[in-house]
Structure 1
Amino acid sequence: MTPIFSARVGGHPGAHGVRGVVEKAMAAEAAGFDQVWTGNDFLGEPGIVTLAAIAMKTSRIKFGSGVLDPVTLHPGQIAQIATGLQEISGGRFLLGIGAGSDVYFSRAGITPALKAAPRTREAVVTIRELLAGRSPLGTPYAGAGWSDQAMLRVAHPTPIYVGGLGPRMLAVAGAFADGALSLCLPPRHVRAVTRQIAEANAAAGRTMEDFDLAACVWASISDDRAAARRILAAHIAEYSGSLAPAALAANGMDVAEFEHTQSLMDQGRVAEAIDSVTDSMLGLGIVGGVDEVIEQCGQLIDSGVRHISFGPPMGTDPLGSLRLIGEKVLPALRSQFDA
């Protein structure tokens, strides 16, 4: 499989709205990335607008929604959006589907009818049928209510990725999708993710040869190594209380360290919280100068990873970080596949 390198450019500090995200997508294309992904959180950034702008402002790079949810957007609407983005981009769009956040939905009084994995599976199956020019009527897992006339006027088949972390979502991805966007914290967690998806893939009579598993990692790169580490430490401090303790422990992380950092954050002692992030905690992401980042990514490649997706915080200067990765990191990593 040809290696894939992508950048996740939306939904983090420095994005500066639609224009800022599009600027990063253009920078990623110029830097030589293969794909770029941006979000569409409910009540968050207007990702669909951003995707359309990316389609018009780039010419080579593939771009994806990371992710659209089938709760605030009907699967039929998502299929329409996907086929339109495929048309205006010349077939470069990648459709990322996820369950969405029940926390965000509750702010608008929305209660999903299905739990996360079943509603994602139903959406993937339904949308695939629609994008193939068929009605979902009678298709297993597509849900009820469709008629034989429920077809898109214009349909453009589109690769479908599932964004998810837990075993049930990974099982949906492996059985029904073309790829998966799984946040690997720490990066070595990709081994467990690969195993779970491969099992679901095999159970569905498929192979991993045609499946694109993106190892989504937090990355912070800068010629100033200390600055890169400080930025990742700030990112980890911000999310220290949102990471599942069981997942941290399963990957050899000290849960008490994260609890201590979160306690400082809760007290408003942000600088102390950042200072409390240990070298072990920094292992949640990929961090350092060019040589350090190449070495850490190389360890992922050695473990079988074929798609590394670089995500926030990226570094002191997000645009500069994209250029730095493109100029110095990607050529070195691609050479490992050619060796």
Structure 2
Amino acid sequence: MTLITKGVGLFSTEPVQNMCQYVTLAEELGYRNVWFGDSQNIWRESSIVMGASAVGTKRIVFGTGVTNAVTRHRSLLASTWATLSEFTGGRVALGIGTGDSSLRTMGLKPLRLAELEQAISELRALFRGEKVVEAVSGVAFHLNYVREPIPVPIYIAASAPKILELAGRVADGVIALVGTAPQFIEAALARIEAGARASGRCLGDLDVVLWTPTAINDDSDEAKDLVRAHVARVVIRPLPAAVSESQQAAIDRIRQSYDYYHHMDTEADHADLVSDELVDLFALAGTPAECRVRLKQIAEHGVDQVSIVPFVRPGQSKAPTLRAFAEIAGEI
């Protein structure tokens, strides 16, 4: 069976001190990565949370799940990640996408794929200490304090087929939000591999992270209820594999009602449109025994890391989910 590492995606819906405690616990439990959501209008500032959480850590790798190159000018992105890399001794992984709730809550449009690719190229140039040209002013700029190249791996968040291929072609890793059912994982890996081959690489040259909405509870129904909002977020994007007519009809209803100001909010109205059938396709939710079976299935399909996004009721701690998943993963 394929060995997978553990990651956790955290959204800063709680004070910074709480987020720091989650990171400390994740490191103690053997998680490799912690990925922080970056959506300035609905969560606390990711760069501050990552910097604060890094204090006192020794091993865990800090990333965004994920940032964008619109609200974050690439000069700001490059400076943030160069500084965080310096502070943590290189324990960073820049997760980036075309832009989602950070843009849509202000009526802005996500980047086109060509624009995302250009942004990544310019970020890498800045990390090498080179100059790039600012798109509006036409003025060349660089990071003045970079004296030698800073190795910052770049992961692309991807769901739809075209961006999965782009990630395979240009990224160091992929944060794949495609579901947990075998047909979706296999279809996504095929697209990533096609992109990798286009750049003279193979699938094994990339680190593939499966972004996984997760709730582990002795009450299976409660666990499923907790992840419905995140499943809604998954299915509003194009999927790498086909679904049944009834499933597609349900997905169409979700797409029509999705509210980005309640992005991944367990109490969101659009969560009520997500059936148990969709939950089983796109999440890791159920009793510890049920989640153990599903995780074994996931581990057999070639991803390098399962990064859980733990969901609990408002006011509850995510620590029990972190512990429960670590225990289950340790048995795989």
User: TM-score per shorter chain, which class?
Assistant: 0.7 to 0.9
Q: Does 1:75 align with 2:71?
A: no
- What runs of 5+ residues in structure 2 fail to find an aligned partner? 260-266
Q: Is the 8 A contact 1:8 1:309 kept in 2?
A: yes
Instruction: Report the residue type matching 1:251 in the other structure.
Output: V
Q: Does 1:3 align with 2:1?
A: no
TM-score, with length taken from structure 1: 0.80
Larger Rg: 1
How many Å apart are 1:249 and its aligned residue? 7.8
- Separation in 2, partners of 1:296, 1:44: 31
How many Å apart are 1:317 and its aligned residue? 4.5
Question: Residues 291 and 143 of structure 1: is their aligned pair in 2 closer, same or farther, counting only changes over 3 Å?
Answer: farther
Q: Does 1:323 align with 2:307?
A: no
Q: Does 1:247 align with 2:218?
A: no
Counting only pairs closer than 5 Å after superposition, residues 243-322 of structure 1 correspond to structure 2 as 243-244=235-236, 247=239, 250-252=242-244, 254-258=247-251, 278-283=275-280, 284-313=282-311, 317-322=317-322
TM-score, with length taken from structure 2: 0.81
Which residue in 1 is equivalent to 2:262?
none
How many Å apart are 1:211 and its aligned residue? 0.5
- Out of 190, 195, 198, the position equivalent to 1:203 is 198
- Separation in 2, partners of 1:124, 1:178: 11
1:256-310 CA-to-partner distances (Å, cap 9, x unmatched) read: 34567899999xxx89987875432221211112221111011111122221111
Which residue in 1 is equivalent to 2:92?
93
User: Is the partner of 2:55 in helix, strand or coil?
Assistant: helix
Instruction: Report the residue type matching 1:230 in the other structure.
Output: D
- Separation in 2, partners of 1:41, 1:170: 22
Q: Does 1:48 align with 2:44?
A: no
1:148-201 CA-to-partner distances (Å, cap 9, x unmatched) read: x73542252111111122233222211111001121234431211111111011
Question: Residues 127 and 276 of structure 1: is their aligned pair in 2 closer, same or farther, counting only changes over 3 Å?
Answer: closer
Q: Is the 8 A contact 2:236 2:254 kept in 1?
A: no
Q: Does 1:120 align with 2:112?
A: no
Q: Which shows bigger deviation, 243-252 or 306-315?
A: 243-252
How many Å apart are 1:88 and its aligned residue? 0.9
Q: Is the 8 A contact 2:180 2:298 kept in 1?
A: no
Q: Is the 8 A contact 1:187 1:215 kept in 2?
A: no
Q: Does 1:171 align with 2:165?
A: yes
How many Å apart are 1:18 and its aligned residue? 2.6
Instruction: Report the residue type matching 1:318 in the other structure.
Output: K
Question: Residues 300 and 128 of structure 1: is their aligned pair in 2 closer, same or farther, counting only changes over 3 Å?
Answer: same
Instruction: Report the residue type matching 1:243 in the other structure.
Output: V
User: Is the partner of 1:247 in helix, strand or coil?
Assistant: coil
- Separation in 2, partners of 1:181, 1:314: 22
Question: Residues 146 and 179 of structure 1: is their aligned pair in 2 closer, same or farther, counting only changes over 3 Å?
Answer: farther
1:236-257 CA-to-partner distances (Å, cap 9, x unmatched) read: 5xx38x8348639813462334
How many Å apart are 1:209 and its aligned residue? 2.0
Question: Residues 42 and 119 of structure 1: is their aligned pair in 2 closer, same or farther, counting only changes over 3 Å?
Answer: farther
Q: Is the 8 A contact 1:96 1:162 kept in 2?
A: yes
Percent of residue pairs bearing the same amino acid type: 26
Q: How many residues align structurally?
A: 315
- What runs of 5+ residues in structure 1 fail to find an aligned partner? 334-339
- Out of 126, 141, 145, the position equivalent to 1:153 is 145
How many Å apart are 1:87 and its aligned residue? 1.0
Root mean square deviation, CA, Å: 3.4
How many Å apart are 1:132 and its aligned residue? 2.3
- Separation in 2, partners of 1:156, 1:129: 10
- Separation in 1, partners of 2:121, 2:258: 42
User: Is the partner of 2:239 in helix, strand or coil?
Assistant: helix
- Out of 15, 23, 27, the position equivalent to 1:17 is 15
Q: Does 1:31 align with 2:29?
A: yes
Question: Residues 44 and 317 of structure 1: is their aligned pair in 2 closer, same or farther, counting only changes over 3 Å?
Answer: closer
